[in-house]
Structure 1
Amino acid sequence: MESSQPDHFVTLPLVSKSDESARLPLAINVVAKYWGEDLKDQGPASRATVLIDGIELAEKRGLACYIYKGSLKDLKKRIDQGIPPIVITPGIQDVAQHATVVSGYDVEERRILTYVPEPDTVGAVPEQKFEQDWEQDDMTTIVLMPADMKDLLKNDELKFVKSNRICFEAERLRQGGKAGEATEKLYEATELDPENASAWSQLGGIYNEHGSDKAVACYEKAIKLNPKYYLAYRGLGNYYLKKKDHSLAEAYYTKAVGINAARFGPIYKNRAVARMQLGNDAGAREDLVKYLEQTPGAQDKKAIEDAISQL
């Protein structure tokens, strides 16, 4: 890639599937390896690992971490400093979120370049589309760098740097079945930064999982702060579906799909349920077809195909 490599580019190490640690997120492995820290086969083996586990392991190996609300300007600054940032972007199929490593940017073509775990391969995304996708998760940025380079960031305003860290810790608690502790953490985050949409949406998620009506106000707060916050719209759809308010469930699912139609395949199955209850069989059928298109590995594929044939 030497001859065609753009000026604003960080050359990242290849972490192949065979080399990748199954215990840590790929993005963390790649950036740690870039800084000379091989985290292969590190981390807990007994459970699925969340990003904060990888971050903490990298910190034990001498790296510093900052989790904040970024911008395109900030991303470009990091690349030009030789720092490959990790961003939280929409997932695909049945994965709601994805951690992506940014490896550079192309000034002439106005594209953001992202790491792809294949030899001599990068992803090139138009800046506008990248920004629109990134905005759906409040432009969350993770910077891992050697602790002795921290002065590069000391004069920068890193928005939500403390509250976002707390959000990542709260997500680990939630996944570990400690909803009460996670809720306390998230309230701490909202007190630190009342305008952190991620904290409010996560709080709504915990309340939603436990059937609490408090979920609505939290999701609505997240949407007020960030009208593109996909997960909050999806969360409200799930809340109202459980409450059997199928009209509102369909409305919020439709708003989420309007923000990103390809982000999360299972949302179409949920909207199909709401539409069937509203007597919209044609719409439900369309949604079930879309669900199978976007979730090709769906375990309930046969049952969904049967349902489609009956609509």
Structure 2
Amino acid sequence: MSKSEESPRLPLAINVVAKYWGEDLSTATEESSQGHAPRGTVMIGGIELAERHGLACYVFKGSLKDVKKRIDQGIPPIVVMPGIHDIAQHATVVSGYDLDERRILTYVPEPDTIGAIPEQKFEQDWEQDDMTEIVLIPADMKDLMKNEDLKFSKSNRACFEAERLRQEGRTEKAVERLRQAAEADPENAQAWSQLAGIYNEQGSDQAVPCYERAIRINPRYYLAYRGLGNYYLKKKDYSLAEAYYTKAIGISSSRYGPIYKNRAVARMQNGNNAGAKEDLAKYLEQTPGAADRESIKEAIAQL
């Protein structure tokens, strides 16, 4: 299974687990494709494709205990984890755990190996995205999940559906879907943060209380801090923009390279050219494929 098998309609993690259950979805994407799908449809599109091929799917707020339970049941769960470089998030398949070394084993498609992450780091990183877990199983195994208390199962799925609506440009429908999700599960930080993200794109002040709500629920919600930084940068409140970017970086310093470029802009406006220079260097270091690499180098030389 190579990374190249991922498509806009089929996330790699979904197909890895589907193949584990004997269903290869990679050919089905071509059959069902109607034009080009926007990137944001990836996860829900893959889930729906898997369901059409006889798999049942559950999306919920998980826990380390639940991940281990699934592994013990012979089910490889998918977890949504922080990204790296210029990718904000990525989905990872958990393939096992090591009791003696207290490590979580994850599937790495290239070079087709297993990654071993200390449990504490795994849990801290996963918490940044509110511990979203996805379980795919054959429909005839649904009884395994029958009496499970799957936290936020409906509202988390609604969040995935809303992201597709947003990518399709149906923002009002996306807002409506997320509002329903937040009302159904008021403690779902993901719903509040996604809702805030749409308001932020629209330039609406309603973004702030939604981001703040997400942070109150989950003080380690990286994307909410970053979102507030973006909001205040657009509002030209550079002190608050810098403060929120710094809080996000404090949670994870290597999660998302472009945040350093944004903080550099805020720092320059705040008269902190030395800090801005450091941030631009960090941006280039953490974003190897940056399209604006040469112009950023020139900016660094002038600071």
What TM-score do the two structures reach when normalised by structure 2?
A: 0.96
Where structure 2 has 5 or more consecutive residues not aligned to the other structure, the ranges are none
Contact 1:23 1:42 in 2 (8 A): no
| 2:183 pairs with 1:191 | yes
Q: Deviations over 1:192-245 (max 9, x none)?
A: 100000000000000000000000000000000000000000000000000000
Distance, in Å, in 2 between the alignment partners of 1:264 and 1:134 is 15
Superposed, 1:1-311 pairs within 5 Å as 15-17=1-3, 19-21=5-7, 23-43=9-29, 44=33, 46-47=36-37, 48=39, 49-118=41-110, 121-311=113-303
CA pair 172-110 structure 1, distance change in 2 beyond 3 A: same
Matched residue SS, 1:177: coil
Amino acid at match of 1:32: A
Structure 1 residue 21: Cα displacement? 5.0
After TM superposition, where is structure 1 displaced by more than 6 Å over at least 4 residues in a row?
none
Structure 1 residue 23: Cα displacement? 3.8
Amino acid at match of 1:250: E
Amino acid at match of 1:226: N
Q: Deviations over 1:123-155 (max 9, x none)?
A: 000000000000000000000001111111122
Amino acid at match of 2:36: S
Contact 2:3 2:110 in 1 (8 A): no
Contact 1:22 1:41 in 2 (8 A): no
What TM-score do the two structures reach when normalised by structure 1?
A: 0.93
Distance, in Å, in 2 between the alignment partners of 1:112 and 1:206 is 34
Contact 2:17 2:76 in 1 (8 A): yes
Distance, in Å, in 2 between the alignment partners of 1:113 and 1:204 is 33
Matched residue SS, 1:143: strand
Identity of aligned residues (%): 76
Amino acid at match of 2:85: Q
Structure 1 residue 16: Cα displacement? 2.0
Structure 1 or 2: more helix by fraction: 2
